[in-house]
Amino acid sequence: MKFRLLLLIVLISQICFSQSEKLDESKIANIKNIIALFKQKNIEDISQNVNFPLRREYPIPEIKNKEQFRQRFNEVFDKILINKIANSKLSQWSEMGWRGIMLDNGTVWIESDEGKIIAINYQSDFEKKLRKDLINKEKQNVHSSLKNFQSPTYKIKTKKYLIRIDELENKKYRYASWKINEKESSKPDLILNNGELEFQGSGGNHVITFINGNYTYKVYRNILGEKDTPDITLEVEENGNTILHQDGTLLK
């Protein structure tokens, strides 16, 4: 699953493209400002026009602030992406309601009101290699029973559990959990396979469901919600009755 979250928006944009709205003058000005900054390759000023944290595809760490953005600018924005933004036309930018304004099919997203960059759905050659290296490093550090996976999806901390979800080569998902004080290098207390991902609505929220006999484990990824909405919600059902409900945070 590519570009979770921030990166899931690009999938939604293709579905909702017909909902694009006409840009008003203030939004056109915001777009022109972004284009001008990339024409100048003004990294300092670009950093002032980013809504942090700027998420990257897991397990690449998010960019937390302006200083990190300036340090990692060339990792994210290669010549191809810089030219794509700098040479873009207004006709390539579309407002997608509350989602924001996107370039093409979601390569770049900016806020509708302030015009700040909120997502980059692009991966440079540097980031592709970095992600591959980080995945290989994770495979070395997890328990032997978990080394066989295609792509890491989430690492989650709840009140009682450390949870790891990986995408396998068969496009299914695997759930592994430990008690909160245990490490991933130790044998998991529970491993579930054949998880199925399902999107909920058009905002990117989704759930991955695992079946274990009479038990159903549901891991909700809450991309959109109220200010206090948790990153993750874990629910466990027994014969259709909820027996566990815990909020979780993503470990980056």
In a domain, 246, yes or no: yes
Mean pLDDT value of segment 199-203: 72
Q: Nearest Cα to 90, choosing from 172, 14, 32? A: 32
In a domain, 131, yes or no: no
**Residue where the block lists tokens 């915001």:** 30
In a domain, 23, yes or no: yes
Considering the domain architecture, whether residues 120 and 217 belong to the same structural domain is answered as no
In a domain, 41, yes or no: yes
Considering the domain architecture, whether residues 170 and 120 belong to the same structural domain is answered as no
Q: What is the extent of the structural domain holding 245? A: 143-250
In a domain, 155, yes or no: yes
Considering the domain architecture, whether residues 27 and 118 belong to the same structural domain is answered as yes
CB-based contact 103:93 (threshold 8 Å): yes
State the DSSP code for 203: S
Please identify, among 77, 92, 125, the residue that sits at the C-terminal boundary of a domain: 125
pLDDT value, residue 204: 75
Predicted TM-score (pTM) of this structure: 0.79
Rounded Cα distance, 60 and 132, in Å: 10
Residue 19 binned pLDDT confidence (cut-offs 50, 70, 90): very low
pLDDT tens track for 155-199: 999 999 999 999 999 999 999 999 999 999 999 999 999 999 998
pLDDT tens track for 221-244: 988 677 789 999 999 999 999 999
164: β partners: 155, 176
H helix or E strand, kind and range, residue 249: strand 241-250
Considering the domain architecture, whether residues 97 and 156 belong to the same structural domain is answered as no
Please identify, among 90, 125, 160, the residue that sits at the C-terminal boundary of a domain: 125
Considering the domain architecture, whether residues 85 and 58 belong to the same structural domain is answered as yes
Average pLDDT taken over every residue of the chain: 90
Considering the domain architecture, whether residues 242 and 152 belong to the same structural domain is answered as yes
Residue 16: is its pLDDT beyond 70? Answer: no
In a domain, 35, yes or no: yes
Q: How many degrees, rounded to 5, is the angle at CA 184 between CA 181 and CA 132?
A: 145
93: β partners: 103
194: which 2 tokens?
Answer: 């054949």
pLDDT value, residue 203: 63
In a domain, 16, yes or no: yes
pLDDT value, residue 237: 98
Q: For residue 156, what are the CA distances in angstroms to 31, 40, 193?
A: 36, 40, 17
**Total number of domains in the chain:** 2
Considering the domain architecture, whether residues 97 and 201 belong to the same structural domain is answered as no
Considering the domain architecture, whether residues 236 and 171 belong to the same structural domain is answered as yes
Please identify, among 76, 98, 125, the residue that sits at the C-terminal boundary of a domain: 125
pLDDT tens track for 65-120: 999 999 999 999 999 999 999 999 999 999 988 778 999 988 999 999 999 999 99
pLDDT value, residue 7: 47
pLDDT value, residue 202: 58
pLDDT value, residue 33: 97
Considering the domain architecture, whether residues 195 and 116 belong to the same structural domain is answered as no
What percent of the chain stands above pLDDT 70?
90
CB-based contact 201:215 (threshold 8 Å): no
195: β partners: 173
What percent of the chain stands above pLDDT 90?
79
Q: Nearest Cα to 191, choosing from 179, 178, 209? A: 178
With b meaning 16 or more CB within 10 Å and e meaning fewer, what string describes 28-57?
Answer: eebbeebbebbeeeebeebbebbebebbbb
State the DSSP code for 188: P
pLDDT value, residue 228: 86
Considering the domain architecture, whether residues 10 and 120 belong to the same structural domain is answered as yes
In a domain, 118, yes or no: yes
